[in-house]
Amino acid sequence: MTALALPHAPGQSRAVPRLLIGLAVVLTAIFVVAPLVFIFWRAFAEGWAVYVANITDPMTRHAIWLTALVAVIVVPVNIAFGIASAWAIARFRFPGRKLLMVLVEIPFSISPIIAGICYLLLYGRQGLLGPFLADHDIKIMFALPGILLVTMFVTAPFVAREVLPLMQAQGSEQEQAAVTLGARGWQVFSRVTLPNIRWALLYGAVLATARAVGEFGGVSVVSGSIRGQTNTLPLQIELMFNDLNTTGAFAAASTLTVIALVVLVVKAALESRR
Amino acid sequence: MTFPKLRLAALALVLGASPALAQDKLLNVSYDIGRELFEALNPQFQTYWQEKSGRDVTIDQSHAGSSKQARAILEGLPADVVTFNQETDVDVLAQGGMVAENWREAFPNGASPYFSLPSFLVREGNPKGIEDWDDLAREDVQPVFPNPKTSGNARYTYLAAYAYALAQNGGDHDKAQEFLGKIFANVPVFDTGGRAATQTFAEREIGDVLVTFEAETKSIAKQYADQGFVPVTPSMSLFAAFPVAVVAENAERAGSTEVATEYLNWLYTPEAQDTMAQNNYRTTDAEVTAKYAAEFPQLELVTVDDVYGGWEQVTADHFAEGGILDKVFVNR
């Protein structure tokens, strides 16, 4: 390996790659590192005691818990949906297959707030299903189910989009071989398909988790922002910010950041075992 | 722990977290910056209600922009009471049949237990000597307030300045519009909301005077104490109601009409009014108002009804597409 250096075109100096690397480092520092440092700097601006008081505020604690709960419910559903849709698209030919591919990607191209409003117009009191839901005393909007629905919508493509290209590239030879050797459907899936896609699956799940935890726009429409009940962490941050409680807002933001960083570290740790 | 087990545990927590106790419950849906006020008021009411009826009451709070809240209630957010900062947003609920048509008469003072008014916050030592609305039209003064097109807060500012100009010019609308044009020309940046305008003024250090609700000017001055901002009260301003109403339809279904009505009535008691004054709102109770008189300078206060003939009229005349506000914007 050491002997293999990238060949240099004649007349091209080493300045160009150095410049590009330098630019990448500087831009990363400005756009990624600086805001991260700033969050923690502002969160601790008034000292540890204030930080702990902000984080242990019952309303903030509930928001953290609710956001984690949403992720814990949404991500497994997402994994199941992602595998099922990728499997269907990659392995089978059926009418509407192209349409399914497009549908899976729709949440990427639709603003979350539009998704939230659509759910509101469908399930809200004045919505299409509103009277039926009210008659049967089923609460979807401004309650946990609404938040889950919108979060599922915005995170729907993540697993499918990671798994699908891999499944298409790998083809179905190994699975066919397994079937030939007498494996049953579930065995084929758990012994052949799943091991092949697990890294893509994991990556998709990590992205979906990060998105589910940070979702703001769509959830803000359907949550009703009831403190201690339906106020998720991003909504709580906005509330504190509007309230001139900047330190509290940044303290809450720091927990969101920590969740995201932990997710990334878990992903890196799992990948290193690959 | 596997995912299914974790989900079961989470579900158990959800169910466990909301035990069905036999007690009163209220959901107060409120405006975006009222959190601290109601965090102070609600425990007081809980004690009061416990003593009066012997029952416990839990009060949940929801805070967001009051237009968004009105919309959410129409779509099923189960509010028992609303405490808003825009009368028009309660009117929206009344039109939707959720609130009584005559909600303004249901409680004293036009159903506004406390109120505020557009006022000024200037930089340390008031270097430009800003005292009244005509100072905002001076060429060397940069006022900061959000865009009246997107911000209810700035609509009050606009209407207060306009009412001042009408009073100064014997009701001459052309002169009033010219005056507003001068003020608008001086605004260096129109933010979309009150919070953004506050940041422009306090953190980006743009402008000489921030125009917002008096209650806000005081909490901003406190928040940025190191910058030494000074609240300044103009000679005249506009009554800004903080209207309250029972959301009759929801309260009847939840059986909470009695406690909801009692809660809103309680907001007029000296105990509650004292807390409001401490949170920089002007109060309606005579005793409390007298007690805090030094902190709230006297001024001439006009209402939208007096000057403009009500909110419906002012919306049609000023804020509709092609209305007077649009003209002022174009001519600035």
Domain ranges within chain A, ordered by starting residue: 17-272
> Max alpha carbon distance in chain B (Å)?
77
**Phi/psi at B236 (5° precision):** -150, 145
When scoring A57, A139, A226, A250 by the number of chain B Cβ atoms within 10 A, the one with the most, hence best to mutate, is A226
Interface check for A36 against chain B (CB to CB < 8 A): the answer is: no
Q: Across the interface, do A125 and B36 touch by the CB < 8 Å criterion?
A: no
DSSP character at residue B184: H
The pLDDT of B200-221, averaged and rounded, is: 93
**What is the SS3 assignment for A205?**
helix
What share of chain B in percent tops pLDDT 90? 80
d(C-alpha A193, C-alpha B199), whole Å: 54
- Please check whether residue B122 is in contact with residue B232, taking contact to mean a CB–CB distance below 8 angstroms: yes
pLDDT band at A177 (very low <50, low <70, confident <90, very high): very high
Residue type, A194: L
Answer yes or no: is pLDDT of A13 > 90. no
What residues of B are in contact with residue A244 (Cβ under 8 Å)? 33, 198, 219-220, 223
pLDDT at B329 over 60: yes
Q: Using an 8 Å Cβ cutoff, are A264 and A36 in contact?
A: no
Question: What per-residue confidence (pLDDT) applies to A6?
Answer: 55
Question: DSSP assignment of A175-202, as one string?
Answer: HHHHHHTT--HHHIIIIIIHHHHHHHHH
Residue A24 reports pLDDT greater than 70? yes
Listing from the earlier edge strand, what are the strands of the sheet with B282-283?
B240-241, B114-116, B282-283
More confident position, B156 or B193 = B156
Q: What residues are paired with B300 via a beta bridge? A: B236
Of A73, A130, A242, which has the smallest distance from its Cβ to B76's Cβ?
Answer: A130
pLDDT of A157 above 90: yes
Say yes or no for a CB contact (<8 Å) between B77 and A141. Answer: yes
Residues B19 and B147 in one domain: no
Range name among B10-19, B54-63, B148-157 with the lowest pLDDT average: B10-19
Sign of the Cα torsion B302, B308, B309, B313 reads negative
Query: CB count, 10 Å around CB of B180?
Result: 26
Q: What is the mean pLDDT of residues A84-107?
A: 91
Judge contact between B256 and B154, C-beta under 8 A: no
Q: Do residues B75 and B12 both lie within one domain?
A: yes
Q: Which of A72, A120, A239 sits opposite B63 (nearest CB)?
A: A239
Amino acid (one-letter) located at A45: A
Among the ranges given (A164-173, B180-189, B207-216), the one the predictor scored with the smallest mean pLDDT: A164-173
Closest chain A CA to residue B34: A243
Q: Which residue has the tokens 């330190």?
A: A247
Distance CA A218, CA B276 (A): 34
Q: Exposure pattern of B52-87 as b/e (b: 16+ CB <10 Å)?
A: eeeeebebbbbbbbbeebbbbbbbbbbbbbbbbbbb
Q: Of the candidates A218, A225, A220, A209, which has an alpha carbon nearest to the alpha carbon of residue A265?
A: A209
Q: What is the mean pLDDT of residues B6-14?
A: 47
pLDDT at B221 over 70: yes
Q: What's the pLDDT tens digit per position in B72-107?
A: 999 999 999 999 999 999 999 999 999 999 999 999
Q: How far apart are CA A68 and CA A45, in angstroms?
A: 26
Q: Which residues contact B67 (CB under 8 A, 6 or more apart)?
A: B86, B89, B92, B152
CA angle B253, B254, B257 (to 5 degrees): 90
At A273 the three-state DSSP class reads coil
Determine the pLDDT at residue B78.
Answer: 94
Average pLDDT over every residue of B107-126: 96
Rounded Cα gap, residues B187 and B206, in angstroms: 10
Residue B19 half-sphere exposure toward CB, CA atoms < 13 A = 3
Contacts of A124 in chain B (CB under 8 A): 74-76
Same domain flag for B138 and B227: yes
Instruction: Report residue A134's pLDDT band, with 50, 70 and 90 as the boundaries.
Output: confident
User: Cβ(B192)–Cβ(B151) under 8 Å?
Assistant: yes
- Report for A98-107, B11-20, B111-120: range of highest mean pLDDT: B111-120
Tokens representing residue A37 in the block: 């440092």
Q: How far apart are CA B173 and CA B323, in angstroms?
A: 13
d(C-alpha A121, C-alpha B254), whole Å: 24
Question: Where does the pLDDT of residue B150 fall: very low under 50, low under 70, confident under 90, or very high at 90 and above?
Answer: confident
pLDDT at A3 over 60: no
> Nearest by CB to A229, which of B3, B29, B60?
B60
Q: Supply the pLDDT for residue A259.
A: 86
Q: For residue A273, what pLDDT is reported?
A: 67
User: How far away is chain B from the Cα of A124, in angstroms, using its nearest Cα?
Assistant: 5
Q: What percent of chain A has pLDDT over 90?
A: 59
pLDDT recorded at residue B66 = 85
Cα separation, A41 vs A250, in Å, equals 9
How far, in Å, CA of B328 to CA of B227, rounded? 33
Contact B75 A127 (CB under 8 A): yes
Cα–Cα distance measured from residue A155 to residue A211, given in angstroms and rounded to the nearest whole number? 7
The DSSP bridge pattern shows strands B81-83 and B24-30 to be parallel
Check CB contact of A144 with chain B, cutoff 8 Å.
Answer: yes
Is B7 close to A228, i.e. CB distance below 8 A?
no
| Per-residue pLDDT at B106 | 96
pTM, to two decimals = 0.84
Question: Is a pLDDT exceeding 80 seen at residue A167?
Answer: yes
pLDDT exceeds 70 at position A169: yes
The CATH number of whichever domain residue B229 belongs to comes to 3.40.190.10
* pLDDT score for B11: 47
Q: Virtual CA dihedral for B212, B213, B217, B218, nearest 10 degrees?
A: 180
pLDDT exceeds 80 at position A133: yes
pLDDT score for B151 = 84
Contacts of B31 in chain A (CB under 8 A): none
pLDDT score recorded for residue B332: 66
Hey, is the C-beta of A229 within 8 angstroms of any chain B C-beta? yes
Looking at the structure, do residues B134 and B226 belong to the same domain, yes or no? yes
In the predicted model, what is the mean pLDDT of residues A8-15? 67
Q: How far is A118 from chain B (nearest CA, A)?
A: 12
Per-chain mean pLDDT for chain B: 90
Give the structural domain span for B144.
118-238+299-331
SS3 B273: helix
Report the alpha-carbon distance of residue B208 to residue B198 in Å, rounded: 12
Cβ of A142 within 8 Å of Cβ of B74? The answer is no
Q: Name the 3-class secondary structure at A111.
A: coil
Q: Binning pLDDT at 50, 70 and 90, where does residue B15 land?
A: very low
pLDDT reported for residue B16: 42
Residue B18 has a pLDDT of 42
B7 and B101, same domain (yes or no): yes
What would the two tokens of residue B27 be?
A: 């959901």
**Alpha carbon distance A54, A226 (integer Å):** 19
Q: How confident is the model at residue A269 (pLDDT cuts 50, 70, 90)?
A: confident
Question: B77 with B218, same domain?
Answer: no
- Whether the CB-CB separation of B145 and B157 falls below 8 Å is answered with yes
CA A65: distance to chain centroid? 17
The three-point CA angle A181-A184-A185 to 5° equals 125
Pairing of strands B118-122, B230-232: antiparallel
Nearest CA in chain A to B8: A73
> Which H/E stretch holds residue B29?
strand B24-30
Flag if A126 and B64 touch (Cβ within 8 Å). no
Subunit contact B74:A72, Cβ cutoff 8 A: no
pLDDT at B239: 96
- 């009701």: which residue's tokens? B171
Nearest-Cα distance to chain B for A7, in Å, is 50
CATH fold of the domain at A17-272: MetI-like fold (1.10.3720)
Average pLDDT over residues B243-253: 95
Whether the pLDDT of residue B199 is over 80: the answer is yes
Q: What is the pLDDT of residue A2?
A: 47
Please tell me the total count of domains within chain B: 2
pLDDT of residue A7: 57
- Cβ of A72 and B6 within 8 Å? yes
CA angle B155, B157, B163 (to 5 degrees): 100
